[in-house]
C-alpha cells in the first residue's frame, strides 16, 4: 500500500486503529498467513511422525495435541480469516460502497481473531494444548478424560472466534443490502459478492449452533454439568448429542469455507477466459440451494454411530442431493473456459487445478454418502484424503488464485509470474503426492487418528511419499512468501486494471484511496467496465430500477434482525437440549417438583407488559411527543428490572433448596436455558438505559425512531424467547 505522509509518521497506529475495510481485509489475510505458519509446522511434524512405522519422534499425547491444534488452526485461524479478508476488501468495492456498513464492528470482529488465536495457543503454556481433535468428541473432551485446561482454552477461543465471525457476516449482509451503489441491483452484483452475501447467512445461522455446544461443554467442565457426560443410573448426558450439535455446525462450516472459494473461481475464470461467466443465474441459484441443503446433511458424519436405517437413508438422500448444485457450478466454470481465449497466468493455473482437484474431492465425498461404503472408510485415511482434497485442493488453490488475481489491486504491484508458476507446480506435485497416496492408504486399512502404525505391506513407503509431498507444499509456501516480499520491495507497477477485468474494484486506483471511488461508471449490466470500454457492444441490460432488488433497507434495523436470527439459533439449540433431556422422567429433582408457575407467571407478566410499553414509547417518538416517549421508556426499564429481580429470587430459592447446576440433568438444562435468557434481558436493559440517556439528552427530539426501533426488535425477541421457555420449562411438565 502507498502511505500518505501522516500514515508514514504513525503507520503502526494507523494500522492498529484502522476502521478502513481495505486495511482490515489485509490484516485478516496477514493474520491468516501468520497462523498458516503455525498450522503448517504442526502438519509437518504430524507427517514426520508418520513417515516410517513404529516411529518414536513424538509421544502419543504430543501427537494428539498437534493433531488437534493443526485442525483447529487451519479451519478457524487460517481459512476463515483469509476468506473473510477477501470479502472485507472486495465486497464493498464490487458493490460500489465506500466502506462496510459498520466500520467499528468490522474492526472489533477482526481483532477477535488474533485474540482467539492467542487464547488457543496460550493453552500450551497453561498445562498443555487440547488433545481431543478439532471435533472434541465427548466424552473424550469431558473433565474425567481431559482434565488439563487445554480443552477449556479451545472452547473459549472458538467462542471468541465465533462471535467475530457472526459480526463479520452481519456486516457483509448489511453492506450488500444497504450500501450498494444506486444502480447496483442484487441481480447485477458480481458473483464473488453474491456468493459471500449468501455465505454470510450460513455463518449467521451455523456459528450459534457451535456456540451453544461450546457453552454446554464449558458448563460440563467448569460447573459439573451433565450435558455430554454419560453417568450411571440414567442421570447422565449423551455423548451422541455432542456429535449431533457439532456436525449440525460442522457441515455448514465446510460450505462457509468453500463457498467464498467458489466466488473467487467465478471471478477469475471469466476474466482469464475473456468470456462472461456461463449461466450466471445457475451459479447464483445453486449457491442458495447449497446454503439451504447444507443444514440438512450433518448426520452423514455419523453413519457409523448407528442411528438406524430410516435416519441413515434420509441423510444419504440429502447428501447426494447437495452434490447437484455443486456439480452445476463445475459445469458452469468448465463451459466458460470452452471457446474462450484462455490466458494461462498463475491465477488461471490455480483455477484449473482447483477444478480437477475439487472434482476428485467431490466424487469421493459422494462415495461417503453411500452408507455401506462409508462404514468401511469413515475411520480410515481415505476420509483424511477426501477432506484435504476439498480443503486444500479446493479452498487453498482458490485462495491462491484470488491472491494472484487481486494482489495488484491490493498492493499496486504485480506478483512475479515466474515465481507464481514455481509455487503452482510445487503445490500441485506436493498436494497430489500427499493426498492421492492417502486414498490408497485408507483402502489398505490404515486408520486415521493414530500416532503410529506397525510394519504392514505398503504402509511404510506410501506414508513416506505422503510426507515428502508435504515438504513440497512447504517449499511452495516459501516461494509464495518470497514472491510477495520481493514484489512489495521492487515489483512491477500494476496500473488500475492490469487484467482488463470488468467489475467495479478495477474502476479505481491500485491500491484504492480511502474513499474507494471518485466516480462510478454507469451500471446497467454485470460487467460495467466492459460496457464503459465497449459502448458500441455493451452487455444486455439486467433488470430495471423498478425491481424489488433495488430497495435498500435501514441498516440498523437490518443488522438487529440478523442478530436476532443468529440468537434464535443459539436459543433453539438450548431449548431442544432441554426437551431432549427432560422428555422422560429422570432421577432427582424435576420441573414439577421444584418450579412454581404462579410465582414465575407474576414476573413474566411484567416482561410481557414491557413489550407493550416499549411499543408505546416508539409510537410517542414518531408523534414527536418527547415527554411521553421518555415516560413509557422508563416504565419499560422498570418492568424489565422486575423480571430480573423475580428471576433472581427464584434462583435464590432453588439454591437454598439444594438445587445447583451440577445436581442433575434438569438442573443443568434449566439453569443454562433460563440463565442465558436472563443475560439477554440484562443486555437489553443496558441498551434501553442508553436509549433513555440519549432521550434525556435530547437526541430524539427530532422524531427519528430508527435506533429505538432496532433496540425494540431485540427486546421483543427476548420476550418471545421467554414465551417458549415458559411453555417448555414451566407449563409443559404440568400437562403430563
Give the separation between CA 323 and CA 319, rounded to whole angstroms: 7
The more confidently predicted of residues 545 and 618 is 618
Question: Residue 420's pLDDT is what?
Answer: 97
Question: Residue 706's pLDDT is what?
Answer: 83
Bridge partners, residue 243, by sequence:
none
Bridge partners, residue 447, by sequence:
380
Check if the beta carbon of residue 275 is closer than 8 Å to that of residue 340: yes
Question: Residue 121's pLDDT is what?
Answer: 95
Question: Residue 586's pLDDT is what?
Answer: 81
DSSP string, 318-358: HHHHTHHHHHHHHHHHHHHHTTS-----HHHHHHHHHHHHH
Round the average pLDDT of the chain to a whole number and report it. Answer: 93
Mean pLDDT of all residues in 569-589: 92
SS (H, E, C) 93-107: HHHCCCCCCCHHHHH
User: 266 falls in which pLDDT band (50, 70, 90)?
Assistant: very high
Question: Residue 11's pLDDT is what?
Answer: 61
Give the separation between CA 127 and CA 380, rounded to whole angstroms: 31
Helical segments of 369-458, H only = 371-377, 381-390, 397-411, 417-443
Residue with cell 433497507: 553
List pLDDT tens digits, range 12-24.
678 888 999 999 9
| 154 has pLDDT over 50 | yes
Question: Residue 107's pLDDT is what?
Answer: 97
User: 593 falls in which pLDDT band (50, 70, 90)?
Assistant: very high
Give the separation between CA 413 and CA 1, rounded to whole angstroms: 9
Q: Which secondary-structure segment (H or E) carries 414? A: strand 413-414
Mean pLDDT of all residues in 299-328: 92
Cα separations in angstroms, 494 against 407, 499, 516: 9, 9, 17
- The CB-based long-range contact list for 609-612 (8 Å cut-off, 24+ gap) reads 609/639, 610/635, 610/636, 610/639, 610/640, 610/643, 610/715, 610/719, 611/715, 611/716, 611/719
| 487 has pLDDT over 60 | yes
Question: 7: cis peptide before it, omega within 30°?
Answer: no
User: 585 falls in which pLDDT band (50, 70, 90)?
Assistant: confident
Question: 140: cis peptide before it, omega within 30°?
Answer: no
Q: Are strands 413-414 and 492-493 parallel, antiparallel or unpaired?
A: antiparallel
pLDDT above 70: percentage of residues in the chain: 96
List pLDDT tens digits, range 648-684.
999 999 999 999 999 999 999 999 999 999 999 999 9
pLDDT above 90: percentage of residues in the chain: 87
Question: Residue 546's pLDDT is what?
Answer: 54
Question: Residue 91's pLDDT is what?
Answer: 98
The helix, strand and coil proportions of the chain, stated in percent and rounded to the nearest 5, come to: 75, 0, 25
Give the separation between CA 460 and CA 215, rounded to whole angstroms: 42
Return the SS3 of 588: coil
Four-residue CA torsion sign, 663, 666, 668, 671 = negative
Mean pLDDT of all residues in 683-689: 97
Which value, in Å, is the radius of gyration of the alpha carbons in the chain? Answer: 27
Largest CA distance in the chain: 85
List pLDDT tens digits, range 370-389.
888 999 998 999 999 999 99
In 10 A of CB 207, how many CB atoms? 26
Give the separation between CA 315 and CA 369, rounded to whole angstroms: 8
| 547 has pLDDT over 60 | no
| 26 has pLDDT over 50 | yes
List pLDDT tens digits, range 244-257.
999 999 999 999 99
Question: Residue 583's pLDDT is what?
Answer: 87
Give the separation between CA 641 and CA 660, rounded to whole angstroms: 24
List pLDDT tens digits, range 96-117.
999 999 999 999 999 999 999 9
Question: Residue 9's pLDDT is what?
Answer: 53
Give the separation between CA 48 and CA 603, rounded to whole angstroms: 62
Q: Which secondary-structure segment (H or E) carries 315? A: helix 309-321
Mean pLDDT of all residues in 278-292: 96
Residue with cell 508418520: 50
Burial of 580 (0-12, 13-18, 19+ CB in 10 A): middle
Question: Residue 7's pLDDT is what?
Answer: 55
Sequence length of the chain is 736
Check if the beta carbon of residue 590 is closer than 8 Å to that of residue 665: no
Give the separation between CA 620 and CA 708, rounded to whole angstroms: 11
Give Cα 713 to chain centroid, integer Å.
24
User: 368 falls in which pLDDT band (50, 70, 90)?
Assistant: confident
| 1 has pLDDT over 50 | no
Query: Among residues 414, 413, 417, 433, which one has the least CA distance to residue 475?
Result: 433
List pLDDT tens digits, range 308-321.
999 999 999 999 99
| 353 has pLDDT over 90 | yes
Residue with cell 450488500: 176
Amino acid at each position: 500500500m502507498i502511505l500518505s505522509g501522516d500514515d508514514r509518521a504513525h503507520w503502526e497506529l494507523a494500522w492498529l486503529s484502522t476502521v478502513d475495510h481495505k486495511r482490515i481485509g489485509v490484516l485478516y489475510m496477514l493474520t491468516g498467513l501468520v497462523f498458516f505458519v503455525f498450522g503448517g509446522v504442526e502438519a509437518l511434524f504430524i507427517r514426520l511422525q508418520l513417515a516410517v512405522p513404529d516411529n518414536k519422534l513424538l509421544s502419543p499425547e504430543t501427537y494428539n495435541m498437534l493433531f488437534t491444534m493443526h485442525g483447529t488452526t487451519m479451519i478457524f485461524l487460517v481459512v476463515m480469516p483469509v476468506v473473510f479478508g477477501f470479502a472485507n476488501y472486495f465486497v464493498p468495492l464490487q458493490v460500489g460502497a465506500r466502506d462496510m456498513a459498520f466500520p467499528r464492528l468490522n474492526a472489533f470482529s477482526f481483532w477477535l481473531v488474533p485474540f482467539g488465536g492467542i487464547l488457543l495457543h496460550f493453552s500450551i503454556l497453561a498445562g498443555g494444548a487440547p488433545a481431543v481433535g478439532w471435533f472434541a468428541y465427548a466424552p473424550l473432551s469431558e473433565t474425567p478424560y481431559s482434565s488439563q485446561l487445554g480443552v477449556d482454552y479451545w472452547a473459549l477461543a472458538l467462542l471468541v472466534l465465533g462471535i467475530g465471525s457472526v459480526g463479520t457476516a452481519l456486516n457483509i449482509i448489511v453492506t450488500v443490502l444497504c450500501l450498494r451503489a444506486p444502480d447496483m441491483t442484487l441481480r447485477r452484483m458480481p458473483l464473488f459478492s453474491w456468493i459471500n452475501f449468501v455465505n454470510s447467512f450460513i455463518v449467521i445461522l451455523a456459528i450459534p449452533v457451535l456456540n451453544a455446544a461450546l457453552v454446554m461443554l464449558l458448563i460440563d467442565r467448569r460447573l459439573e454439568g451433565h450435558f455430554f457426560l454419560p453417568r450411571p443410573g440414567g442421570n447422565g448426558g449423551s455423548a451422541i448429542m455432542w456429535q449431533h450439535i457439532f456436525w449440525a455446525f460442522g457441515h455448514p462450516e465446510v460450505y462457509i469455507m468453500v463457498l467464498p472459494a467458489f466466488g473467487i473461481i467465478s471471478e477469475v475464470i471469466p476474466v482469464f477466459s475473456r468470456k462472461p461467466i456461463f449461466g450466471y443465474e445457475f451459479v447464483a441459484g445453486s449457491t442458495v440451494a447449497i446454503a439451504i441443503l447444507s443444514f440438512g446433511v450433518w448426520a452423514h458424519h455419523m453413519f457409523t454411530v448407528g442411528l438406524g436405517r430410516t435416519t441413515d437413508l434420509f441423510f444419504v438422500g440429502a447428501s447426494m442431493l447437495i452434490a447437484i448444485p455443486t456439480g452445476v457450478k463445475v459445469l458452469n466454470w468448465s463451459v466458460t473456459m470452452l471457446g474462450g481465449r484462455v490466458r494461462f497466468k498463475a491465477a488461471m493455473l490455480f483455477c484449473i487445478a482447483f477444478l480437477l482437484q475439487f472434482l476428485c474431492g467431490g466424487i469421493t465425498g459422494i462415495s461417503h454418502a453411500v452408507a455401506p461404503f462409508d462404514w468401511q472408510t469413515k475411520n480410515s485415511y481415505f476420509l483424511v484424503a477426501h477432506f484435504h482434497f476439498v480443503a486444500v485442493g479446493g479452498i487453498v488453490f482458490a485462495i491462491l488464485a484470488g491472491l494472484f488475481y487481486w494482489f495488484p489491486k491490493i498492493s499496486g504491484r504485480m506478483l512475479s509470474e515466474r515465481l507464481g508458476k514455481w509455487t503452482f507446480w510445487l503445490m500441485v506435485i506436493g498436494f497430489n503426492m500427499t493426498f492421492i497416496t492417502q486414498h490408497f492408504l485408507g483402502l489398505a486399512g490404515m486408520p486415521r487418528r493414530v500416532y503410529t502404525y506397525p510394519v504392514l505391506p505398503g504402509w511404510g513407503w506410501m506414508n513416506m511419499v505422503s510426507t515428502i509431498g508435504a515438504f513440497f507444499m512447504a517449499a511452495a509456501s516459501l516461494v509464495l512468501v518470497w514472491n510477495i516480499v520481493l514484489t512489495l520491495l521492487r515489483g512491477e507497477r500494476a496500473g488500475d486494471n492490469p487484467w482488463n477485468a470488468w467489475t467495479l474494484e478495477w474502476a479505481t486506483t491500485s491500491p484504492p484511496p480511502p474513499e474507494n471511488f471518485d466516480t462510478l461508471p454507469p451500471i446497467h449490466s454485470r460487467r460495467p467496465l466492459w460496457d464503459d470500454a465497449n459502448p458500441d457492444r455493451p452487455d444486455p441490460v439486467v433488470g430495471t430500477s423498478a425491481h424489488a432488488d433495488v430497495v435498500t433497507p435501514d441498516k440498523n434495523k437490518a443488522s438487529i434482525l440478523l442478530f436476532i436470527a443468529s440468537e434464535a439459533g443459539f436459543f433453539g439449540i438450548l431449548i431442544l437440549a432441554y426437551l431432549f433431556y427432560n422428555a422422560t422422567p429422570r432421577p432427582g429433582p424435576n420441573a414439577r417438583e421444584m418450579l412454581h408457575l404462579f410465582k414465575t407467571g407474576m414476573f413474566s407478566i411484567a416482561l410481557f407488559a414491557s413489550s407493550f410499553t416499549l411499543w408505546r414509547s416508539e409510537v410517542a417518538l414518531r408523534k414527536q411527543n418527547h415527554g411521553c416517549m421518555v415516560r413509557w421508556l422508563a416504565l419499560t426499564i422498570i418492568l424489565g428490572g422486575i423480571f430480573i429481580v423475580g428471576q433472581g429470587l427464584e434462583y435464590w430459592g432453588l439454591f437454598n433448596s439444594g438445587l445447583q447446576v451440577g445436581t442433575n440433568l434438569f438442573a443443568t438444562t434449566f439453569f443454562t436455558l433460563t440463565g442465558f435468557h436472563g443475560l439477554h434481558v440484562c443486555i437489553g436493559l443496558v441498551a434501553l438505559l442508553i436509549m433513555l440517556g440519549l432521550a434525556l439528552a435530547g437526541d430524539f427530539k427530532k422524531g427519528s425512531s430508527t435506533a429505538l426501533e432496532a433496540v425494540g426488535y431485540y427486546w421483543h425477541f427476548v420476550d418471545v424467547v421467554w414465551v417458549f421457555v415458559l411453555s417448555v420449562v414451566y407449563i409443559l411438565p404440568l400437562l403430563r
